[in-house]
Amino acid sequence: MTRDPRPVCCVHSSMPRGLRARSLIGLFAACAAWAACGGGDKKEKTTPDKATSSGDPQAMHDPGDPSGVPGNAGTAGNPAGGGVSGGGVAAMPPSAGGNGSAAPAVPAEPPAPVVTLPNYDPDPAQARTQVDQHLQVARAALASATPDGETALREARLALQIDAANIDAAAMVAFAYYHKKLYDTAELVLDDLFKRDTAKQNANVYYVYGLVYDHTNRPDQAVLSFKKAVELNPSHASALVNLGVHQLQNSQYAEARSSFERLVNQFARGDAVTLTSLGSAYRGHAADYPTGTPDRDDNVRRAEAAYKRALQANSSYGPAYYNLGLLYLDNDPFPGLPDTLLRLNTAKGYFDQYKNMPSLDMKLYDDRMKDVTKAIKRAEKLLKKSKGGSPGTSGPPAPPAPPAPKAKAGAKRGSKP
């Protein structure tokens, strides 16, 4: 079997043989270089490009704007420059000035002036002085012979305009209403004032309460109020006077004696009213001891001395004469005076003097004169029956006179707080 001959590819070139050899060598070199670079996949350059021909030494460190826009080189914080390239982060806005230089310093604003608001509140010391001045005028108005409640009320309100929280000024308002005989109004003022805790510790509030209770027939509450006022302020003489009066009325003679001794000795109250009340406390307290005992005689003598001091202070004060008459009528034997008829006649003489006083209570006078007249007649009869006895001389004691009702102490009510 005859086969066809294998075809042979023949390439004819007009290039000279030596040139063809050099071309093949160059082709092989290019392929080798291509294989050394990793084939067809282009990888990121690992070395910087050579310096440009400009000779700028910063060329390696400042690659410039990839977009190729002149004059938009990146900054140290944003190498990409001012634009957004290849999905990168937008650059910071250029600084003021536009030439890359630092922004000029903004001058600081001057500090705002300090504004001091005017103080319209009065000085506390000055306000207190003004309040005290108004209250002094109010007290003087109520301490006069004819208490002026209207003036006291006006001054108390002026004090409250300066210090609306002043307890003494508010209590003075109630005290003024009391003197105007507006007892219900006074009590309403006190009740409203008593809602404050500070009012519960104020002696004047309790004192005015006591006066209102006294004049609205509530003596038990009055006593408690006066007593509380004295506890809060032991120097509250007016509250102590009224407390002593109630003690006399309640036959608490030992307590009354203590109260009025304080008024006379500690507060130097030497008026006829206070001294007469002190004498009545001694006279009542004497009856707490048996007849003839030293304690009884001591209190009788003290009572006589107090009544006589009251008459020295005011010789026209009728209650002092009346109480001296009772002292001699009730105490048999009288200390230092064993003569019964002389004692009874002394009592009668004081009752007669009481009759001439402007404060005479005619019924009291008539009742006491009946008692002393009967006692004198009994004593005279006993003396006639005695051997050698004669009227006016010493003899057996007369029967005791009927007990006299309690004398009015005469203590002043409603004096200034």
- Residue 369 scores a pLDDT above 90: yes
- Nearest-angstrom CA–CA distance, 129 and 135: 10
Task: Choose among 392, 309, 407, 396: nearest CA to 354.
Answer: 407
Give the pLDDT mean for 366-391.
84
pLDDT digits (tens, 9 = 90+) for 237-247: 999 999 999 99
- Nearest-angstrom CA–CA distance, 376 and 382: 10
pLDDT digits (tens, 9 = 90+) for 401-413: 445 455 455 544 4
**pLDDT above 70 as % of the chain:** 65
Contacts of 333 (CB under 8 A, 6+ apart): 291, 292, 340, 343, 397
Q: CA torsion 405→406→411→417, rounded to 10°?
A: -120
pLDDT at residue 264 in the model = 97
Angle at 242 between CA 239 and CA 245, to 5 degrees: 150
**In this structure, are residues 152 and 176 in contact, taking their beta carbons and an 8 Å threshold?**
yes
Angle at 351 between CA 350 and CA 356, to 5 degrees: 95
Q: How many CB atoms lie within 10 A of CB 176?
A: 28
Going by pLDDT thresholds of 50, 70 and 90, the confidence category of residue 322 is very high
pLDDT at residue 18 in the model = 52
Going by pLDDT thresholds of 50, 70 and 90, the confidence category of residue 88 is very low
- Nearest-angstrom CA–CA distance, 7 and 36: 37
- Nearest-angstrom CA–CA distance, 59 and 228: 104
* Structure tokens given for 71: 């004059």
pLDDT at residue 325 in the model = 97
Lowest mean pLDDT among 26-35, 184-193, 201-210, 269-278: 26-35
Going by pLDDT thresholds of 50, 70 and 90, the confidence category of residue 71 is very low
Task: Choose among 197, 199, 192, 154: nearest CA to 173.
Answer: 154
- Residue 236 scores a pLDDT above 50: yes
Q: Which residues pair with 334 in a beta bridge?
A: 337
Averaged pLDDT of the chain: 79
Going by pLDDT thresholds of 50, 70 and 90, the confidence category of residue 83 is very low
- Nearest-angstrom CA–CA distance, 13 and 15: 5
Burial class of residue 39 in the structure, from the number of CB atoms within 10 Å of its CB (0-12 exposed, 13-18 middle, 19+ buried): exposed
Give the pLDDT mean for 276-300.
96
pTM metric for this prediction: 0.64
For tokens 């805790």, the residue is 197
Please indicate whether residue 45 or residue 379 has the higher confidence score (pLDDT): 379
Q: Residue 50: left (phi > 0), alpha (psi -120 to 50), or beta?
A: beta
Going by pLDDT thresholds of 50, 70 and 90, the confidence category of residue 125 is confident
pLDDT at residue 113 in the model = 78
Going by pLDDT thresholds of 50, 70 and 90, the confidence category of residue 25 is low
pLDDT winner (highest mean) among 192-201, 382-391, 402-411: 192-201
- In SS3 terms, the chain reads as CCCCCCCCCCCCCCCCHHHHHHHHHHHHHHHHHHHHCCCCCCCCCCCCCCCCCCCCCCCCCCCCCCCCCCCCCCCCCCCCCCCCCCCCCCCCCCCCCCCCCCCCCCCCCCCCCCCCCCCCCCCHHHHHHHHHHHHHHHHHHHHCCCCCHHHHHHHHHHHHHHCCCCHHHHHHHHHHHHHCCCHHHHHHHHHHHCCCHHHHHCHHHHHHHHHHHHCCCCHHHHHHHHHHHHHHCCCCHHHHHHHHHHHHHCCCHHHHHHHHHHHHHCCCCCCHHHHHHHHHHHHHHHCCCCCCCHHHHHHHHHHHHHHHHHHHHCCCCHHHHHHHHHHHHHCCCECCECCHHHHHHHHHHHHHHHHCCCCCCHHHHHHHHHHHHHHHHHHHHHHHHCCCCCCCCCCCCCCCCCCCCCCCCCCCCCCCC
pLDDT at residue 111 in the model = 79
* Structure tokens given for 279: 């004498």
pLDDT at residue 60 in the model = 40
pLDDT digits (tens, 9 = 90+) for 265-280: 999 999 999 999 999 9
Give the pLDDT mean for 8-16.
47
